[in-house]
Structure 1
Amino acid sequence: MTTSTTRQPIHTSPINLTFLGTASAQPSSTRNHSALTLRLGSDAWLFDCGEATQHQIQKSAVKMGRIEKIFITHTHGDHIFGLLPLMAACLNGAGGTVDGADDPRTQVNLNDSPMEIYGPLGTRAYIRNGLIYTHTLLGRPYVVHELRFPGDPQDGDFTHLPPHRSESPNGRNIPLKTDLNDTGTWRNIYSDNVLSVSAAPILHSVPCVGYVVNEASVPGKIDPTKYIPDIKRTKTPMSVMRRLQEGEDVELSDGTVLSGPPRRPGRKIVVLGDTYDPSPVASLAQGADLLVHEATNAHLPGIDPATKETDTYESVQERAISRGHSTPQMAGKFATLIDAKKLILNHFSARYPGDDDVNEEARKIMEGIRDMASFEYDGPVLCARDLMSEDVVLQQDNR
């Protein structure tokens, strides 16, 4: 488990999710390759990094310099081809070789706080090979932690090349927990005093990961009128309300003990990679405030003019599964299974335009896709478009 320095609480602010790219396989004129960010207070975490992600960041409210962690779901190109240029941009990269050992571009302090990158086997090798063979120099360090599946080699870097000069030696190979008490998950691969990240394999055509971000418990809602009479009677400073708000017990001068409201669960955000069956992550994802689930293919007769006459709902689903993907109905079923509060559909085929905010035909198509998910799930459903931004607000009735 990686533990950072103390983070300021974020429960008084929304966690913001910004979709930088919502396409599958091929980008279109209205959808970029896969990437999304979580903005957590002043920091940003990136999930996947398809081609041209840094261009999308420049169009958004996300600040490049705020990206401190990157989580890769799988190593298909549409989810990772933008990673190296983004690293170069974030870590003061420079091109070209340097001969002098004293050149300042070669002097990277590996003890500085690194950019942390998480992903399946091959993530470290891809980054190392790409940086070395493109002669890319970085001015700040990075570290790669790999989530190793049971069939993976549990040691080594999956490449013969030595570490890049900016690569921290503290990268971990994290084995999947397979004991009786914790079957098939990577729990708390990152944790601090406010946030933690766990993960589990999900089924795709290649090894793929679903990530679950958990906020630590937050103060309960306090009713001041419950405490003020006793506080005033004992002439206790009103500042004691801050301790009560945190759920503490406070003993007053006359022996009266006041108990603060119980703390409530924080927010839970589930970000899935490509999948035709995410059930292995279900136990971690239970009760999610927000689920991001792919919906690559849909059967939309009478709505999508490109619908094949020979297709049926069953044939489209069968074809999606054969390619490792899901339909909106499959996403809706999983949202129902984990009792999610909100579902956002993502990772759409290039045939589905992403300008439904201004294009009437696109609006009808995306409404049709949303309705298909709603047939299986009775909570709110949104269809992601590039640069769409959604706040995850702490609910009073958070489960």
Structure 2
Amino acid sequence: MRTPITSLGITFLGTASAQPSSTRNHSSLALRLNGDVWLFDCGEATQHQIMKSSLVKMGKIEKMFITHLHSDHIGGLLCLLASAMNGDGGTIPGVEDPRVGSTPTKPPLEIYGPLGTRAYVRNGLKLTYTLLEGSYVVHELRFPEDPTDETENSPSPSQNLHLSESPDGRNIALVDGKWADIFKDNIISVSAAPILHSVPCVGYVVHEAPVQGKVDPKLYIPHFKRTGTSMKLMGEIQKGQTVTLADGTVLEGPPREPGRKIVILGDTYDPSPIEELAKGADIVVHEATNAHLPGVDGRIKAEDTYESVEERAKSRGHSTPQMAGKFAKRIGASNLFLNHFSSRYSDEVDEKSRAIMFAIKHLAVVGFGRSEVVCGRDLMNIEIPPKRAMVEGNKPKVVQDAVTYS
């Protein structure tokens, strides 16, 4: 059973789009839960970014969620698996490798993704002769148009397994437009839905279960004093338990309150299929690949307009900051984090690039109608307060890890 989440945060490991730059790596985001790590996408060199991070630890990765199979979102997955599970190319012929036939000592690392994720991981590990000390399992989110027969590109969970692959992978069917509760425990759940891109793409919704409400001592202390009850019982009330005092007075703990909701989208020009799941999000992470920045970006085309840049972005399966802001507004989100920027938009390393990122943020604010917009930077850490604290005006805290660019 997972313990209640006392520390919840996001680390942007890569915020570039198709091409990385000297200041932005390929796409990857880490969700941190009490130190455990769930990765969302794993572009090339993600493990290098993890090595630079002060908060994301390779050995703490429990789950990986892939939005789609474009290489800038999955190109680092195989190498990261090898590093996370002490993988290598095995022993020389004639020398028995102790990993072959051994029983894993830890639960499998879980990987979720669309059709093709299993074949990519399985075949990639086989073709590179990679052996792992641990085990992994792949769960595929199947679209209605996906083939139902098992082929090389859509293998069954138990067909021609890699030595480190668990046979317990699931093929999860889309039901009523969503993949509900693809993971769920006593503390947190993950659901998913399609979002529109140039290839099959998935958005994920991470939802914390209702949490115990905060005790207001003023409501209880008079009863404790009147009956001579030990204040130690206040801890039981804080846990939501019912306490009966010596005079028969029954005190109930505060009701449970809604947990936090985080929406993490992949590449998209229209995420409307996930709207219902995403409503009321505390955090939405949305791409903002292209932007029209007259007077700020000197490289724009003379004939470009906001409308033409949006149409060009949509034709390639992507969004502008305004589109991201409008989606966040539609779902009633509290905070919008932008990522997946074109390589022409460097991180905030000089006055010009800072002006560009400020202009991108402004465009998103206009669409969102709120000022709670953050442009993601590589190795940016965001600490997410409890739901009650955010309702009371305590905003997510943004801290940048120290990093030196070459």
The residue aligned with 1:266 is 259
Whether the 8 Å contact between 1:48 and 1:73 is mirrored in structure 2 is yes
Structure-1 separation of matches of 2:94 and 2:196: 48
Choose the corresponding residue for 2:137, options 122, 143, 146.
143
How far the C-alpha of 1:233 sits from its partner, in A, is: 2.1
Structure-2 separation of matches of 1:74 and 1:192: 25
Choose the corresponding residue for 1:287, options 243, 255, 280.
280
The residue aligned with 1:164 is 162
Deviations 1:289-330 (A, max 9, x none): 111000000001111111100111111100111110000000
Structure-2 separation of matches of 1:374 and 1:36: 22
Structure-1 separation of matches of 2:84 and 2:108: 11
Percent identity over paired residues: 63
Whether the 8 Å contact between 2:115 and 2:154 is mirrored in structure 1 is no
How far the C-alpha of 1:198 sits from its partner, in A, is: 0.6
Choose the corresponding residue for 2:316, options 302, 307, 323.
323
Q: 148-157 vs 138-147, which deviates more? A: 148-157
The residue aligned with 1:121 is 115
Choose the corresponding residue for 2:171, options 170, 173, 176.
173
Whether the 8 Å contact between 2:192 and 2:202 is mirrored in structure 1 is yes
Matched, 1:60 2:53: yes
Deviations 1:269-301 (A, max 9, x none): 110000011111111111111110000000011
Structure-1 separation of matches of 2:123 and 2:34: 33
The residue aligned with 1:188 is 181
Structure-1 separation of matches of 2:95 and 2:149: 31
Q: Secondary structure at the match of 1:375?
A: helix
Q: Secondary structure at the match of 2:178?
A: strand
The residue aligned with 2:368 is 377
RMSD between aligned alpha carbons? Answer: 1.7
The residue aligned with 1:88 is 82
Structure-2 separation of matches of 1:17 and 1:397: 17
Q: Which amino acid aligns with 1:375?
A: V
Structure-2 separation of matches of 1:246 and 1:311: 58
The residue aligned with 1:35 is 28
Matched, 1:278 2:276: no
How far the C-alpha of 1:175 sits from its partner, in A, is: 0.4
Matched, 1:390 2:385: no
Choose the corresponding residue for 2:4, options 3, 9, 32.
9
Q: Which amino acid aligns with 1:116?
A: E
Q: Secondary structure at the match of 2:80?
A: helix
How far the C-alpha of 1:126 sits from its partner, in A, is: 0.2
Q: Which amino acid aligns with 1:174?
A: I
Q: Secondary structure at the match of 1:145?
A: strand
Specify whether residues 383 and 27 from structure 1 end up closer, same or farther in structure 2 by C-alpha distance, changes over 3 A only: same
5+ unaligned residues in a row in structure 2: which ranges? 392-406
Specify whether residues 397 and 18 from structure 1 end up closer, same or farther in structure 2 by C-alpha distance, changes over 3 A only: closer
Whether the 8 Å contact between 1:265 and 1:398 is mirrored in structure 2 is no
The residue aligned with 1:251 is 244
Q: 239-248 vs 50-59, which deviates more? A: 239-248
The residue aligned with 1:201 is 194
Deviations 1:170-213 (A, max 9, x none): 00000011xxxxx2011110111111111100000000000011
For these two proteins, the number of residue pairs brought into alignment is 385
Q: Secondary structure at the match of 2:82?
A: helix
Structure-1 separation of matches of 2:312 and 2:238: 53
Deviations 1:88-136 (A, max 9, x none): 0001101146545842032332574110000000000000110000100
How far the C-alpha of 1:235 sits from its partner, in A, is: 2.8
Q: Which amino acid aligns with 1:166?
A: S
Structure-2 separation of matches of 1:393 and 1:107: 45
How far the C-alpha of 1:253 sits from its partner, in A, is: 2.5
Structure-1 separation of matches of 2:350 and 2:60: 33
5+ unaligned residues in a row in structure 1: which ranges? 1-5, 178-182
Structure-2 separation of matches of 1:76 and 1:188: 25
Matched, 1:302 2:295: yes
How far the C-alpha of 1:42 sits from its partner, in A, is: 2.2
Specify whether residues 121 and 111 from structure 1 end up closer, same or farther in structure 2 by C-alpha distance, changes over 3 A only: farther
Matched, 1:21 2:14: yes
Structure-2 separation of matches of 1:99 and 1:239: 65
The residue aligned with 2:394 is none
TM-score normalised to structure 2 length:
0.91
Choose the corresponding residue for 1:134, options 123, 128, 133.
128
Structure-1 separation of matches of 2:341 and 2:380: 14
The residue aligned with 1:3 is none
TM-score normalised to structure 1 length:
0.93
Runs of 4+ in 1 over 6 A off after TM superposition: none
How far the C-alpha of 1:394 sits from its partner, in A, is: 0.9
Q: Secondary structure at the match of 1:231?
A: helix
Whether the 8 Å contact between 2:192 and 2:203 is mirrored in structure 1 is yes
The residue aligned with 2:397 is none
Structure-2 separation of matches of 1:363 and 1:50: 25
